[in-house]
């Protein structure tokens, strides 16, 4: 795949490290495209939704429904996620692909060590039917 037709994985918000320093490993997501971040770890979209929307529109101006993905790490301000989806829909994107993290099995139960991402596609036109 050339740089021009390479997919992009938009990490909606860069997670802050937990108290023990742990953050999600996004390496497995690189098989779906190059990683880029929409919001920084400290951004709070709920506090200024107008500025957040402008940031989203700018960062996702080239979002391609056929090949790009959103990735929400379940850390940070959930308003970043909501506003990102709403902004994409408002700009005419009718299909959005997400990368969903599935924890793997280990001898002691569920584990992130052997987990993986898989794509999930949402067709927003089918929601209103």
pLDDT tens by residue, 49-83: 999 999 999 999 999 999 999 999 888 899 999 99
Q: Tell me, what's the pLDDT at 51?
A: 94
Domains of the chain: 8-127 (3.40.50)
Cα(89)–Cα(92) distance, rounded to whole angstroms? Answer: 5
Q: By the 8 A CB rule, do 56 and 38 touch?
A: yes
> Which positions ≥6 away from 9 have C-beta within 8 Å?
26, 29, 30, 32, 33, 34, 35, 36, 68, 69, 70, 71, 99
């Amino acid at each position: 795949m050339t740089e021009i037709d390479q997919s992009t994985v938009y990490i909606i918000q860069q997670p802050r490290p937990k108290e023990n320093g742990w953050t999600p490993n996004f390496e497995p997501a690189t098989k779906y495209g190059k990683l880029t971040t929409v919001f920084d770890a400290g951004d709070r979209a709920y506090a200024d939704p107008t500025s957040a929307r402008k940031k989203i529109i700018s960062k996702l101006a080239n979002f391609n429904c056929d090949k790009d993905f959103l990735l929400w790490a379940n850390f940070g301000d959930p308003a970043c996620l909501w506003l990102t989806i709403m902004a994409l829909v408002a700009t005419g994107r009718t299909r959005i692909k997400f990368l969903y993290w599935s924890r793997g099995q280990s001898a002691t139960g569920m584990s992130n060590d052997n987990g993986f991402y898989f794509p999930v596609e949402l067709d927003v036109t089918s929601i209103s039917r």
